[in-house]
Structure 1
């Protein structure tokens, strides 16, 4: 297998025996380069170990056993995928990208502010939901890969146990057989440790999936609240439009009433003027009678 950098933060490699292509993304180009170096280092170590094992088998096996031992190849798998020297599990990346903290925010007094607030909240949830979906898909793919690796480890362990039994039955060359038995037992212990680590990672992934389901439930609840808020906002807008119409009608009525008052005032002014003239005429008549 050969690791190929397809971009600054992504690389892939193919397993021709399994007819499968694996891909992996990193947080930085430095992590990608470090992983590529480690990949090449383990690949070279696997090649050397295979050659050394074949040489030992050729030296310790009889001609009649060469065909039986020719297929002894210890599987060498890359370490758990990481971008640094420390192990970075998929659930850690999942937590780093998908942790959503929902704080209680007091409702604004304006219906428009409420709608904008919930729209922003929904947009943030949609973004986080997309990240969660991508992380879940990646975790599912990793789980399938680890299950295949677990099955391969178990088959290899059984094959190694059988090989140990066969080597114990071989007469002569006791020292070489004991050495090979010790190496095989160490390999079995390493495989068992790998199996245990993979099982722990699977448990962590299950916990992360449960957390993702809880976040999805919270998202659905907030979506429902947003819908209710939009309905309430529509009702408020309808009421506002009704009030505006009433206000406009009231203003029209007030303007009409003002016009009527002006006409009445003008009429009263005319009457008052006439009454004033009449009073003056009466006063003059009274003055004439008295003289």
Structure 2
């Protein structure tokens, strides 16, 4: 891999994506190359006529891939694509935020791949023009290269009596270079076959993971429905308790406010249930990558925790209402005791007044 030279390489296109690399041990699982989304850019080296894809995460290059005409960028899902790099002996994967970004990157990859092919053809034409002696032998290359099929012509430099043969050193060097280039092309072809097989295993593993994730999501949805039914029963019980408190306290305004709050909480729970059902349908209707399913599962867990927290708050409100009812009962008991005292005092006063009336009546009779 060439190092990145800012002074001679110019960026062509850049995009933000999550970068992954194939696990070198299993050739099936994806390993994240960075914790967050990174900038992935196409660069062009004018001196070498080479196109590269480069991405830097922190202080190291997580992608440094030279584009060749035999590379292929494959979209494995709506937001994920990958390509194999035989020189780096790995497979790169990119996860984009939207399908549009993935489509733009794939189109740019095809354009750069075509440009790399044209650049290679031009370089081969210039090489053949500079080395005309290779134009005849070049089409005869095959997988079984041998020294005999690349032997240069023999030259007779002395007379008929002395036939000393000399091999042209320049032609030998040129043929050695050409042979190495052909071997390299053949090795790249075999590496492409290996990478295609690795991509097939990766797709099968991803499909299995997606099926497992969907099954887990379906089981989680059943649990959510059961918990929601329990929450609804708890809400009904809380409503009955609030109605009883309203009847005992004789404060319909406060009870009505608590009832409205409980109604709003119930509506929120029903809204969350409908949202969950929509998420279930979306999961069943489309196939997403494993990372996205895990993120959506974490979000659902967070929402479930929010529901539990709301239920705890409702229980706290019921406990506070019960405390208010108990305090109201205590105040009512105290008021009844005071009324009894007043009634007793009034009875005493009435008896005194009755005695006074009888005394007055006796005085009037006398």
Q: Structure 2 length as normaliser, TM-score?
A: 0.31
Structure whose residues are more often helix by fraction: 1
Structure whose residues are more often strand by fraction: 2
Q: Relative contact order, CA 8 A, sep 6+: which one is greater?
A: 1
Q: Structure 1 length as normaliser, TM-score?
A: 0.37
